Amino acid sequence: MAESCFKSFLSLITISIFVIFYINDIVAVDGKSQTFGRVLNPINLGLKEEKLSHFRVYWHDIVGGKNPTSIQVARAPSTNKSKTGFGAVVMIDDPLTEGPELSSKLMGRAQGLYAMAGVNEVAALMNMNFAFMVGKYNGSTISIMGQNKVLTKVREMSIVGGSGLFRFARGYVQARTHKLDLKTGDATVEYNIYVFHY
């Protein structure tokens, strides 16, 4: 009696182990078990508590001069005739500084591109990574994508993700033009970043 009890206990354990592995693994069409996907505990990735951080940087779009950080790489045949610049695509590697002056401390760079996406309004599609270069944030990035109606006082764009200290980032940024040089086209924009991350 005791022995059969023990045997069924053993087979129960065997079945449980089988079920646990079976559920954790994804079974391919051919019936073979794969370890393509599995459920993880966030603690195992060092993800403890999500926090909300605020950062402020100044973004410098340098169009003129000998060393521009913002260059037009494409346009449509009709772009020149468009009042809103519709169709222009601009690649950027813009410095992000601590203060509004370009000479203030370099905090990182905004790398990516923006494209003029409005037929009837001056609206850019922004698609850029803020790559930080200071302190513990050195090497971490925040990815920003959104609509930028550049003539509006405050423009809000989405944070769609991040890397390093900004893994699993979500949030938004608010952009305010600080200075615009109409002669050169150079612009300084204040970016306030509100980001949830771990």
Ligand X SMILES: *[C@@H]1O[C@H](CO)[C@@H](O)[C@H](O)[C@H]1NC(C)=O
Footprint of ligand X (CB under 6 A)? 77, 80, 133-134, 138-139
Cα-only R_g, the chain = 25
Residue 157 CB, nearest approach to ligand X (Å):
26
Q: Using alpha carbons only, what angle is made at residue 90 by residues 114 and 81, rounded to the nearest 5 degrees?
A: 100
Cβ closest to ligand X, residue 82 vs residue 127: 82
Cβ closest to ligand X, residue 19 vs residue 134: 134
Cβ closest to ligand X, residue 122 vs residue 133: 133
Dihedral sign, Cα of residue 88, residue 89, residue 94, residue 98: positive
Residue 145 CB, nearest approach to ligand X (Å):
25
User: Residue 12: phi, psi to the nearest 5?
Assistant: -65, -45
Cβ closest to ligand X, residue 19 vs residue 71: 71
User: Residue 3: phi, psi to the nearest 5?
Assistant: -65, -40
Residues making up the chain, counted from first to last: 198
Check if the beta carbon of residue 171 is closer than 8 Å to that of residue 149.
Answer: no
Cβ closest to ligand X, residue 34 vs residue 80: 80
Residue 133 CB, nearest approach to ligand X (Å):
6
Cα 20 vs. chain centroid, distance in angstroms? 35
Residue 177 CB, nearest approach to ligand X (Å):
23
| Amino acid identity at 139 | G
Residue 119 CB, nearest approach to ligand X (Å):
17
